[in-house]
């Protein structure tokens, strides 16, 4: 007994020593975002979101340390992101990968994460089937189906629309958005009478001919998916200039087209626009009020967090959870196990990671743009709670694989 107790003491001491060593452990996170090029603004929003999490949750990683190793993914083609991931794994020996604004970036990087067994936390890239590409992927952002399917249901049920035309930017998330809206709308009794591909994501096209075609079909709603940013501003202008509102056609879309950082530049033309999305800076909850206030203090009164910033914020929260759960030593199986079923009280409301798909479960908010004190504000007009990625839920198209 004596001897055993003594041995027990030694083991306990050894365990303490290991734990003590681990407390100095630094977890390296490779962050792949576009810091230059067309997506530079988006990269900055996600990066700032990650910073804000660290600032507002100072003790989240204690007693461990986190080091962010940033790499520029430049163009949306996926090629540069893949090179960056390769370098982060082989040279920097990071423990986790994070970021990924554009779907091609995540798609190109997924096989590397699988081969090197590096957990990959996706902070934007919304093509639905991306999570099926690697067991190492978990997504804290959204799938195009979240907003698309919800908007389809809402257009039929809340807006009482019978017919719809869909206009979409011709690349994977655009086609996803089309499929999602169509499924949601037609299941709820509506009918999509036309689908118009409107050029690629690289450049903003002249939307006039596409919108003219949509107008001639006289639908109740016109669902538009274009990449967030400059495309969206141009969509509003063309919608107003062609008099589609006067023709009784409601413009609806996922919240990409009302990204908070671009909202005020859309002008009065945008009033009345209805979107479904998982976040806007006008959401009224304690976590969001805290984030918005701290954000404006840090980056200026005219700045604002947006859905991308919150995805960066929540991504850091997920990583902090993994690091604490695993005691600072990241292994792939342990990390993925920790992420599955993780719950968090985010500025976008309650979120969790679906253990079956490693994709996010969250609320979808239906908002209408209104003018308040000369500023465009997103007024909450409805919420669908705990929405899963319906693409994988319904096993639609490529999501079935």
State the minimum distance, in angstroms, from the CB of residue 34 to other proteins. Answer: 10
Report the residue number, 196 or 283, with the smaller CB distance to other proteins: 196
Residue 121 has phi, psi (to 5 degrees) of -100, 110
Q: Any idea which residue has 């701290």 for tokens?
A: 294
Contacts of 337 (CB under 8 A, 6+ apart): none
398-45-263 Cα angle (round to 5)? 90
Q: Any idea which residue has 């600072």 for tokens?
A: 328
User: What character string, x for contact with other proteins (CB under 8 A) and - otherwise, covers 84-103?
Assistant: --------------------
Site stretch for other proteins (CB under 8 A), options 226-234, 280-288, 333-341, 369-377:
226-234
State the minimum distance, in angstroms, from the CB of residue 238 to other proteins. Answer: 9
**Pairing relationship of beta strands 360-372 and 375-387 according to DSSP bridges:** antiparallel
79 in contact with other proteins (CB under 8 A): no
Report the residue number, 208 or 380, with the smaller CB distance to other proteins: 208
User: What character string, x for contact with other proteins (CB under 8 A) and - otherwise, covers 254-283?
Assistant: -----------x------------------
Q: Could you tell me how many helices (H) and strands (E) the chain has, helices first? A: 13, 14
User: What character string, x for contact with other proteins (CB under 8 A) and - otherwise, covers 147-176?
Assistant: -----------------------x------
197 in contact with other proteins (CB under 8 A): yes
CA distances from 158 to 155, 190, 251 (A): 6, 12, 14
C-alpha 98: how far from its chain's center? 12
Site stretch for other proteins (CB under 8 A), options 11-19, 132-140, 196-204, 327-335:
196-204
Contacts of 156 (CB under 8 A, 6+ apart): 184, 185, 188, 189, 190
Tell which residue, 205, 203, 265, 212, has the closest CA to residue 241: 212
Which residue from 63, 135, 205, 334 is in contact with other proteins, where contact means CB under 8 A? Answer: 205
Site stretch for other proteins (CB under 8 A), options 16-24, 242-250, 286-294, 300-308:
242-250
Q: Dig out the tokens for 3 from the structure.
A: 């001897």
193 in contact with other proteins (CB under 8 A): no
Cα separation, 353 vs 122, whole angstroms: 12
**Pairing relationship of beta strands 349-353 and 343-346 according to DSSP bridges:** antiparallel
Which residue from 8, 9, 243, 272 is in contact with other proteins, where contact means CB under 8 A? Answer: 243
235 in contact with other proteins (CB under 8 A): no
Q: For residue 190, list its beta bridge partners.
A: none
Contact positions toward other proteins, by CB under 8 A? 37-38, 40-41, 170, 196-198, 202-206, 208-210, 212-213, 215-216, 229-230, 233-234, 237, 240-243, 246, 265
């Amino acid at each position: 007994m004596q001897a055993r107790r003594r041995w027990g003491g030694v083991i306990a001491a050894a365990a303490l020593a290991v734990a003590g060593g681990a407390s100095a452990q630094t977890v390296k996170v490779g962050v792949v975002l576009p810091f230059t090029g067309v997506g530079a603004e988006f990269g900055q929003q996600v990066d700032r979101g990650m910073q804000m999490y660290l600032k507002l949750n100072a003790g989240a990683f204690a007693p461990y340390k986190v080091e962010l190793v940033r790499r520029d993914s430049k163009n949306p083609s996926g090629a540069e992101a893949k090179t960056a991931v390769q370098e982060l794994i082989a040279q920097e020996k990071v423990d986790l990968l994070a970021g990924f604004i554009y779907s091609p970036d995540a798609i190109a990087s997924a096989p590397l994460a699988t081969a090197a067994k590096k957990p990959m936390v996706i902070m934007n890239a919304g093509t639905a089937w991306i999570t099926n590409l690697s067991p190492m992927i978990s997504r804290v952002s959204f799938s195009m189906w979240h907003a698309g399917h919800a908007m389809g249901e809402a257009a039929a049920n809340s807006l009482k629309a019978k017919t719809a035309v869909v206009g979409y930017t011709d690349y994977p998330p655009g086609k996803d958005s089309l499929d999602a809206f169509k499924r949601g709308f037609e299941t709820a009794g509506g009918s999509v009478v036309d689908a118009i591909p409107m050029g690629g994501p690289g450049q903003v096209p002249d939307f006039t001919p596409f919108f003219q075609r949509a107008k001639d079909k006289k639908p109740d709603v016109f669902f538009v998916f274009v990449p967030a940013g400059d495309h969206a501003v141009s969509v509003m202008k063309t919608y107003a200039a062609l008099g589609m509102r006067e023709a009784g056609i409601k413009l609806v879309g996922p919240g990409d087209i009302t990204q908070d950082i671009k909202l005020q530049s859309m002008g009065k033309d945008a009033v009345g626009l209805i979107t479904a999305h998982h976040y806007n800076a006008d959401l009224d909850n304690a976590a969001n009020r805290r984030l918005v206030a701290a954000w404006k203090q840090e980056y200026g009164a005219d700045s604002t967090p947006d859905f991308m910033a919150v995805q960066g914020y929540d991504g850091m929260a997920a990583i902090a959870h993994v690091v604490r759960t695993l005691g600072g030593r990241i292994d792939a199986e342990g990390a993925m196990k920790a992420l599955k079923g993780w719950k968090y009280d985010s500025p976008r409301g309650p979120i969790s990671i679906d253990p079956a798909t490693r994709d996010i479960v969250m609320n979808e908010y239906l908002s209408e743009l209104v003018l308040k004190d000369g500023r465009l504000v997103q007024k909450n007009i409805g919420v669908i709670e705990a929405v899963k990625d319906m693409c994988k839920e319904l096993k639609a198209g490529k999501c079935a694989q």
